[in-house]
Amino acid sequence: MRQHTTQPEAEGATPSASVPWPIALDQVTVRYPNGVVALKDVSLRVEPGEMISVVGLSGSGKSTMIRTINGLVPATSGTVTVGPHTVTGLSGRQLRQLRGHVGMIFQHFNLADRASVYQNVLVGRFSHTPTWRTLLGSARPADRDIAMRALDSVGMLEKVWQRGGALSGGQKQRVAIARALSQEPAVMLADEPVASLDPPTAHSVMADLQRINQERGLTVLVNLHLMDLARQYTTRMIGLREGRLVYDGPAADATDADFEEIYGRPIQVKDRLDR
Amino acid sequence: MTATTTTRAATGALQIPVRPRSWPVRLAWAAVAVAIVAAFWDLGIEWSKLASLPSDLAHYTRLMFSDPDWSKLPEALYQTWRSVAMAWTGALLGVVLSTLLGIPAAQGVGPLWVRLPLRWVFAVIRAVPEVVIAIIILTVTGLTPFTGALALAIGGIGTHAKWTYETIESVPQGTSEAVRASGGNVLEVARWGLWPAASPELMSLGLYRFEINVRTSAILGLIGVGGIGDMLTGYTQYREWDTVGVLIIVVIVVTMSIDAVSGRIRRRIMEGAKARDLDRSA
């Protein structure tokens, strides 16, 4: 996980994260230590402010691809670039600094269930806060303000003092979005954000992501396995099959045949959220 | 299992499959038998004494409990208090040290060159009994209850740090990944990704460590670091059975009470960890 490559110091010059960043993958391959090749020679460029979906079955490499963008999974070969940062080869403080500008939400929300919603959202301020403060859980007034505003923007402010574990699935995902927003990110990554939610909640969470993309102009990359969600909420779609990029085009134009090509099998009822 | 070894009843004569005999299993049994015999060989057991055991037991029980010397009760309670204080100080010190050392020893927290030496140290400590640790320490701190507390603290690290890293490793990875994804460093991952999920169990284990220490502290008295064990050894050596009776009663009652109270607190901690809402808005 941790490689000690020496990297030229590029600190201090990190621009403020309010401007959306482009993402570029150049011939990226990921081979896990157990020998599984999860991503094969994928090249891709995402423009700043784009709302893009990555579609594929489970095991197609979606989760791996999204994790190469914030360095949770290192690329075995090829280059990943996010805004001014070259992710490949980053480590330590520089990698954490990059992650501070990239928000991420997860299928299982990944909140600390036994900590308050407030403490959970403050996690988003970690890369901008001295470690001793985060360890004590004492936030500066400015960070507190950012966290509260992020919660308010997803309609969860009234739950701020509840435990993470006391919330419903949809509420947890909104808090997770608030956690990512409080980073004031330039890029938002979402790994199957609605796969654990019921259809109405799934739609409202997707609408939240769409609103974030439109109002804040963030670059948003969403992993999905459902074709109707990809068509409805994203403008461009990437298809992955067995680690290879097999589709890249406008999401609205993607035909059922295109999806069959991505899935590698005929369309089934479970490929749509609304049946 | 295979088709060829199944019985056929059609011809009348049963084809009974060959009974499998496993040489490794036989050898293992033989080894166990040898070990059992060897264990008794050199102990110098006088089996004839076993016959007089029930009557001896009754004799000493009468000596100890028929007319206990209750005038020694205040001294016994005071020494018990010193033992419990020793156990508590030892538990506190031991749990704090174990937490600080155990978390970096967990997979996914510390790198391999930190984990391996730490785990090796824990294993070495586990191999050394508290009494031996106390004997080593008393060369520095002397025959004081503090020596006992230090011995309990250091001895406790062996098992408690192991429990700590095992508990940390059993925490689901999701929250840690989220903290890392938002730019958190190792300390922040430990504090907000792992600690909230692991803390109830770690606190419960800490109390359990205290319960164990209460029992061990009585044994530590044997080498003279003070407390009820010290008193017990003294009066046993002078064969003042009526006082020994009082001491045994005190030890049993105090240990059982502490176990009961501590056990109850531990249950509350684990129940509270399951589902409780800290609603400060109402």
pLDDT in tens, chain A (275 residues): 444 443 443 333 333 446 889 998 899 899 999 888 888 888 999 999 899 999 988 888 899 999 999 889 988 988 898 888 888 888 888 888 899 999 999 999 999 888 899 999 999 888 888 888 888 888 888 889 899 999 998 888 898 898 888 888 889 999 999 999 999 999 999 999 988 888 888 898 999 999 989 888 899 999 988 888 888 889 999 988 888 888 888 888 878 888 888 888 887 877 887 76
- Contact list in B for residue A190 (CB cut-off 8 A) is none
More confident residue, B113 or A268: B113
Distance CA A264, CA A121 (A): 39
Q: Do A127 and B184 touch (CB under 8 A)?
A: yes
Dump the DSSP string for B134-171.
Answer: HHHHHHHH-SSHHHHHHHHHHHHHHHHHHHHHHHHHTS
Between vectors from CA A124 to CA A122 and to CA A126, what angle results, nearest 5°?
Answer: 80
Q: Indicate which of B171, B173, B182 best probes the interface with A, i.e. most A CBs within 10 Å of its own CB.
A: B182
- Nearest CA-CA partner of A274 in A203, A209, A224, A210: A203
Q: Do A135 and B197 touch (CB under 8 A)?
A: no
Please write the tens of the pLDDT for every residue from B141-164. 888 888 888 889 999 999 999 999
Q: What's the pLDDT score for residue B273?
A: 66
Q: Answer whether residue B92 shows pLDDT above 50.
A: yes
DSSP-derived 3-state class of residue A221: strand
ipTM: 0.84
Distance CA B178, CA A32 (A): 20
Distance CA B92, CA A64 (A): 43
Q: Answer whether residue B281 shows pLDDT above 70.
A: no
Q: Which residues of chain A have a Cβ shorter than 8 Å from any chain B Cβ?
A: 2, 70, 72, 96-100, 102-104, 106, 108-116, 119, 123-124, 126-127, 131, 134-135, 158, 160-163, 165-166, 176, 179-180, 183
Q: What's the pLDDT score for residue B10?
A: 57
Q: How far is A199 from chain B (nearest CA, A)?
A: 23
Please write the tens of the pLDDT for every residue from B242-279. 888 888 889 899 989 998 999 898 888 887 766 544 44
Q: How far is B73 from chain A (nearest CA, A)?
A: 46
Q: Answer whether residue B9 shows pLDDT above 70.
A: no
Q: What is the CATH number of domain B73-273?
A: 1.10.3720.10
DSSP-derived 3-state class of residue A194: coil
- Contact list in B for residue A70 (CB cut-off 8 A) is 181
Q: How far is A144 from chain B (nearest CA, A)?
A: 16
Backbone angles phi, psi at A14, to 5 degrees: -65, 120
Distance CA A59, CA A113 (A): 28
* pLDDT confidence bin for B218, thresholds 50/70/90: confident
Give the whole-number percent of chain B exceeding pLDDT 70.
93
Nearest to A114 among B111, B197, B281 (CB): B197
Within chain A, residue ranges assigned H as helices are: 62-69, 92-100, 117-122, 131-136, 141-153, 169-181, 199-216, 227-233, 256-263
Six token digits for residue A81: 């670039």
Q: Indicate which of A4, A125, A126 best probes the interface with B, i.e. most B CBs within 10 Å of its own CB.
A: A126
- Nearest CA-CA partner of A107 in A220, A208, A192: A192
Q: Where are the domains of chain B?
A: 73-273
Q: What's the pLDDT score for residue B142?
A: 81
Q: Do A96 and B183 touch (CB under 8 A)?
A: yes
